[in-house]
Amino acid sequence: MNLETVRAFVAVAEEGQFRHAAVRLGVSQQAVSKRVAALESSLGVTLFRRIATGAILTSDGRKFLPHARAVLSAVGQAVESVRRETRPLCVDVLGDRLATSAVLLEFHRAHQDIPLKTVMLNGVDAAVRALAAGEIDAAFVYEREPVQDLVPGLDGAVACLEALEIIVGEHHPLAGAESVSPAELAPFTAWVPGIVEGSEWGDWYREFAAEFSLTIDSTGPNFGMESLLESVGSSRSIFTFFGERVRIDLPRQHGLRRIPVVAPTPVYPWSLIWHSANEHPGLAALLAHVRDSPTPSDTRGLWLPRPFANMGA
C-alpha cells in the first residue's frame, strides 16, 4: 500500500472535497483522484461516495479512516524519532496575545535551553490533524470532546483556567462597576467578531450565552483588536469579552475599562494536547510545566462548560 494514497484519502476525508485536498497536499486534483482510486482498487472497496458538493465517506471509508490516520501518525512519529534532537519543540498557541502564549512564554523563560517554535493554527481540528501528522509537538485548545476519541494515541491535560472579563467604554452604563455578574450583562450586547462558525470557542460562547440569556453578536467585519476596542470605547450599549491573560494595552483615548465578571465567573478551559508516542526531549518538560501550573482546586463560583462542569467539585 502506497503511503501517498493513504495521505490523499485522509485529506479528502477531512476536507470533504478533492479540490481542497489537492490544495492541502500541494498536488493536482487529478493526482488526488488517481491516488484515491488506486487505494480503493488495492483494498477492493469504495471509500467515497461522490456528491454535488464534494465527497462523503462510505461505511467502508468510515471504518478505514481511523486506521489510516494511525498509519500516518506512526510514520510521522518514526520520522520524528530520528529528527527530534535537531529541531525545536513546535507548539500551537492559536493566537500570540492569548493566555496560551503567556503560558508558553513562562515555560520558555524557565527552560531557555530548549529550542522552541510557535505556530498559530485555526482551532482544535487543525491542531489534531497536525499532531497526527507529526507536524507539531503540542497544541493549546479547548477540548469539546476527549482528543483520545478523535485520533488514537493523542492525550490531553488541563493547562489553564482563564477567567473572562468585559471591556466597556467610559460612557457605558457599566463603566463605574467594580465587577459585574452575567445577569447584569443581559440588557446589553456583547460584540465578539472573532467567533468562527463551528469553532470550539464558538461553542463555548454559545453555551455561555444560553446559560445566562446573553446576546452575543459575532456579525460584522473583523478588522482586528484595535478596531474592536475603538468601537466598544465609543458605544453606550455594547461591550466585549477578553480573557484576563490577554496581553494588550488599552488605548487611553477611549477611556476603556476591564471589569471582572463574578457570581459566577465564566472560565475558558485551555488544555494542552499531544501525541503520547512523541519522544521530543522538550515535550516532557512542557508537560511537567503545565501540570505544575496552579489551577483552582475548588471551582465553586466559576462557570465552566459542560465537559468541565464537574471539575474540582
**Mean pLDDT, residues 25-42 taken together:** 91
Q: Are 185 and 176 in contact (CB under 8 A)?
A: no
pLDDT tens digit sequence for 244-290: 988 777 766 678 999 999 999 999 999 999 999 888 989 999 999 99
Q: Is the pLDDT of residue 242 over 60?
A: yes
**Mean pLDDT, residues 21-49 taken together:** 91
Q: Give the Cα separation of 249 and 200 in Å (integer).
A: 26
**Mean pLDDT, residues 218-231 taken together:** 84
Q: Give the Cα separation of 29 and 18 in Å (integer).
A: 6
Q: Is the pLDDT of residue 312 over 60?
A: no
Place of cell 463560583: 301
**Mean pLDDT, residues 11-16 taken together:** 89
pLDDT of residue 307: 75
Specify the higher pLDDT residue, 5 or 299.
5
pLDDT tens digit sequence for 135-164: 899 999 999 888 888 788 899 999 999 999
244 Cβ contact partners less than 8 Å away, ≥ 6 residues apart: 99, 162, 163, 164, 165, 260
Q: Is the pLDDT of residue 36 over 90?
A: yes
pLDDT band at 83 (very low <50, low <70, confident <90, very high): low
pLDDT of residue 297: 61
pLDDT tens digit sequence for 108-122: 999 999 999 999 998
**Averaged confidence pLDDT in the chain:** 88
Q: Could you tell me the pTM of the whole model?
A: 0.73
Q: Give the Cα separation of 101 and 94 in Å (integer).
A: 8
Q: Tell me the residue ranges of DSSP E strands in the chain.
A: 48-51, 54-57, 89-92, 116-119, 138-141, 154-168, 189-191, 215-217, 238-243, 257-260, 265-275, 302-303
Q: Give the Cα separation of 270 and 82 in Å (integer).
A: 31
Q: Is the pLDDT of residue 26 over 90?
A: no
pLDDT band at 313 (very low <50, low <70, confident <90, very high): very low
